[in-house]
Amino acid sequence: MTPDGLVPTAAPGVFLGSAAVESVIGALRSALAGLAGTHTPRSLYAPPVIAGSVMAKVEYRRYFPHLLATVFTADGESDLVLLPAGCYCVYPAYEGVQLDSAIELDVEATCFREERSAEPGRLRSFRMREFVHIGPEDGCRAWRDERVAAARTWLAGLGLKIDVVAAGDAFFGAGSRLLQRLQIEEELKLELVAEVAGGVTQAVASGNYHKDRFGGLFAIAGPGGSPAHSACIAFGYERLALALTHRHGRDPGGWPPGVRAQLGWPARP
Amino acid sequence: MEERVRQILAKHSGLGATVWTIPVTANLWSLGMTSLASVDVMLALEKAFAFEFPESELRHATFSSVDAIVECVEELTGSRPS
């Protein structure tokens, strides 16, 4: 067992959750619902697989082929791939819809990305909680910024030292360096970074503004009829658990009362 | 140079034949060029003119217009008219 309570398996980057880690994730699951504040999102659970046709439509195979895994059966390649992020399930559910007003969704997903690093927290199989906003252009980026600010305050309340940094996705191929630079220049992706192990900092959450990319691809229209804009903020459960155990120790019973209270636990177990 | 840049834009920017008629200062982003399309433009420019954009030029301004692209390519390939 690692010091942080994730139990290694035969597969690198794939861990079993100890009881302590699962209790933290359970508390995070409940507490994150409160982070939605006055919003009343529609809750969805995303299975660990998604139609390969959806990922083809969003060109995931072109830009992130190194992260994507395909499901094979006895008959060969199936129509499914492993889900790399929760929000990809959402857009097809609204394909062809014209929205009367902005909508918000609360998605929990089991995800897979073919991470090649053995760094702690760089899991291949992990769970993600994602809030997704789809609506008119006006207010979409502001929603992302507001959610990132709220998340930063919330994570600081858990005792984590959080830095918010503009970041670029790990695009594949010769053009990746331009895509990353443009993404950073436009601040389309804001990562909330914390230490998850000694000297190792990683994004424990990230807020993304997609402009009208998914609205355009899936013919989702805003109230005015033009392609809807979308944004999301995603939290990595395992990374948050790692960051919290790294910060406060393996035994949640000994965590500061304020942290325990924010997680919905009594001051002392 | 300008004609070759317009050729590349017509093929890769997603704006099609309209790039033949737009002013050299027209903003390509405002016209609808996406960041994903700009990657194809960048790679085609690098191949056509045998150079590589340095990190410092990987920004929106570099690809913002025909003029901006021509100026940058001339600068980086040392082909700017004196």
What's the CATH code of the domain at B46?
A: 1.10.1200.10
The answer to whether residue B82 sits within a structural domain is no
> Residue A121 and residue A5: Cα distance in Å, rounded?
12
Q: HSE of A137 in the Cβ direction (CA atoms, 13 Å)?
A: 8
Cβ-in-10-Å burial (0-12, 13-18, 19+) of B82 comes to exposed
Which chain A residue is nearest to residue B60, measuring alpha carbons? Answer: A182
Would you say residue B19 has pLDDT above 70?
yes
The encoded tokens of residue A62 equal 């072109």
- For A1, the token pair is 């067992």
Q: What are phi and psi of A236, to 5 degrees?
A: -95, 115
**Chain B residues near residue A57 by CB distance under 8 angstroms:** none
Using a CB-CB cut-off of 8 Å, the residues of chain B touching A175 are 39-40, 42-43
> Would you say residue B22 lies in a domain?
yes
Alpha-carbon separation of residue A189 from A165, A242, B37 (angstroms): 8, 22, 19
For the stretch A21-56, pLDDT in tens is: 999 999 999 999 888 766 678 999 999 999 999 999
Positions of chain A with pLDDT lower than 50, given as ranges: 1
- Please indicate whether, in this complex, the C-beta atoms of A183 and B35 are within 8 angstroms of each other: yes
As for how many domains chain B has, the answer is 1
Complex ipTM value = 0.89
Q: Is the residue at B18 inside a domain?
A: yes
CB of A186 within 8 Å of any CB in chain B?
yes
pLDDT at A38: 63
pLDDT at A1: 42
Q: What is the pLDDT of residues B27-76, one digit of tens each?
A: 999 999 998 899 999 999 999 999 999 999 999 999 999 999 999 999 99
Classify residue B62: in a domain, yes or no.
yes
- Mutation target for A interface from B42, B58, B69, B72: give the one with most A CBs within 10 A: B58
Q: According to the model, what pLDDT value does residue A84 have?
A: 97
- B26 found inside a domain: yes
CA–CA dist A240, A25 (Å, integer): 8
Domain hosting B41: range is 2-77
- What is the length of chain B? 82
Assigned domain for B13 exists: yes
- Give the span between the Cα atoms of A9 and B72, in whole angstroms: 51
pLDDT at B79: 78
Look at residue B72 and tell me if it is in a domain.
yes
